[in-house]
Amino acid sequence: MTQIKTFILSMIILSVNYCTTSKFAEIAAIQKDITAAVKDYNSENWETRLNALKRISRYSNTVYAKNSFLLIIIATEDSHSEIRIEALKILKVMKAPAAEERIRSIALSDTNSNVKYFAFSALEGYGNIKNEKAFLTGLNDKDWLVKESALKGLMKINDPDIQKKHLPVIIKAINDKNISIRITALSNLAIKDPLIYAELTKIINNNESGSTILEAVLRCIKGYKLDEITRKKIIQLLTHKEKQVRLLSLQILKYKEENN
């Protein structure tokens, strides 16, 4: 029995030593890869710099992220827009507090609309009230993608009163000429309000409303006390050509019956 115990103990020690050696080898390989990527980023060829960042991005959600953080921040100032975008994609995953101010600056000042879009998208992940003014500024951008990203960021701020505070902005977005902005506003609604209800009923009762916008509105109107005109219109939607519209309409009517 003693010999068996000794054998088992020896196997455990060997296993631990192997795991330790294996772990050290893994760490060394990662550090070597990051070091090589940093070196490659010094290249004058923008594609080489981009590939270096993409290699580093593999570690953006790991304990090794801090090893490449400075390089990623430097990359946000690169002359090539695709590299700045790649850096912002990495920072969105990392969500490092030390990068927030830099991301906000890019969102407000970069001359490339695609870069601004990715900057606002990265900024959204922080949910910080400090970014409120930046998002409001982004809503005035000429590029609808930038506006959409800024709107989502504003509505995702971790403050229970933020949407009520900016109700006029949200209502304006619900009626925007761009369908994507309208859907973004509706999809991120977290409050109930009579003014919002009024806008939702306008869309439902408009015979020209498409199925995509109808689906978004029907998801939002659940839980409101329906007026008679809107209730009758939702009953009509039970025969809509789109299955999802029919299902959502049925859910709303069943919810109303169960909660009366």
CA 183 to chain centre: 15
| Greater pLDDT, 18 or 110 | 110
pLDDT tens across 58-77, in order? Answer: 887 777 777 788 889 999 99
Confidence of residue 49 (pLDDT cuts 50, 70, 90): very high
C-alpha to C-alpha distance for 196 and 221, rounded to whole angstroms: 9
Indicate the domain borders of the chain. Answer: 1-94, 96-164, 192-260
14 has a pLDDT exceeding 50: no
Per-residue model confidence (pLDDT) at position 61? 76
15 has a pLDDT exceeding 50: no
223: left (phi over 0), alpha (psi -120 to 50) or beta: left
Cβ neighbours around 123 below 10 Å, total = 29
Per-residue model confidence (pLDDT) at position 22? 64
Side-chain-side CA neighbours of 8 within 13 Å: the count stands at: 5
C-alpha to C-alpha distance for 72 and 65, rounded to whole angstroms: 10
C-alpha to C-alpha distance for 120 and 143, rounded to whole angstroms: 13
pLDDT tens across 113-148, in order? Answer: 999 999 999 999 999 999 999 999 999 999 999 999
Q: Which of 260, 215, 203 is nearest to 241 (CA)?
A: 215
94 has a pLDDT exceeding 70: yes
Q: What is the mean pLDDT of residues 104-112?
A: 97
pLDDT tens across 198-254, in order? Answer: 999 999 999 999 999 999 999 999 999 999 999 999 999 999 999 999 999 999 998
Q: Which CATH architecture has domain 96-164?
A: Alpha Horseshoe (1.25)
Q: Which of 135, 139, 140, 196 is nearest to 168 (CA)?
A: 196
